[in-house]
Amino acid sequence: MINIIKSMAITFAMYSKLPVRSFEWKKENMKYCLLFLPVVGIVEGIFLVLFSIFFSKLKVNEFLVAAILTSFPILYTGGIHMDGFLDTMDALGSNQPKEKKLSIMKDSNSGAFAIIGGLVYIILYFAGMLSIKSFTKICILAVAYMLIRAYSALALTVFKNARGNGLAFEFADKSLIYINRIVLLLFIGFGSVAMIAISVNYGLLCAIAIFLVFLFYRVKSFEEFGGITGDLAGYFLQLAELVVVLVLALAP
């Protein structure tokens, strides 16, 4: 039980800005870390729903609400996934060979493609959040935070790592692979069913959209980089969240 608690603390300390104690990154402390990545999404979803109710009760201006809810996922995670998205945009925009792209992703400096990609992302996300008027859609987005992280964690246990080292590799290498895979698949099943239960039409659309982005992530990562990395995991997570927001915004 103590190892499970330590795994949860490490995951929340790494992937959220919640004030939790972190523990030493020893194998016994990290066996179940990937299992708690969807739980990080569950907590994020709860905050999203509570904020939406709070702003609705206060009748806050819709532009300000959209701006806050656009910023919230980045503030909640400390930007760790957005950092991966921006690094990946730089690498993809370079049109270089695989090894050079991997090297570009490790560069701490932001290039033009990262800045352009980030600006386009924020504009689209903000416009999408501004267009989401239904509380039902907000609830589906809240569940999507969990579902997307379950897919992301599952990829780390299934897909080849492009580098054979790094943060993503360490989390996967120190986890109990088969237990993690089974539980993450259960999270994926539960999340998909939960979204459809909230709304058959909207939920099914979003569940399919997330799965298609996951397939795109698999193909694109192996084609461009020869596998996945922590930055690519962040790229997938941010891209999937944006797609869900746009699907919900465009759905009648």
Q: What pLDDT score does 175 carry?
A: 57
Q: What pLDDT score does 252 carry?
A: 85
Ordered by start, the domain boundaries in the chain are 1-250
**What token pair was written down for 154?**
């599952």
Could you read off the pLDDT tens digit of each residue along the chain, which spans 252 residues?
Answer: 676 777 788 888 889 998 887 766 555 566 777 888 999 999 999 999 999 999 999 999 999 999 999 999 999 999 999 999 999 999 988 888 888 888 888 877 778 899 999 999 999 999 999 999 999 999 999 999 999 999 999 998 888 887 665 555 555 555 566 788 889 999 999 999 999 999 999 999 999 999 999 999 999 999 999 988 888 999 999 999 999 999 999 998
Q: What pLDDT score does 87 carry?
A: 92
State the Cα torsion 194-216-228-31 to the nearest 10°: 10
Q: What is the pTM of this model?
A: 0.90
Q: What pLDDT score does 1 carry?
A: 67
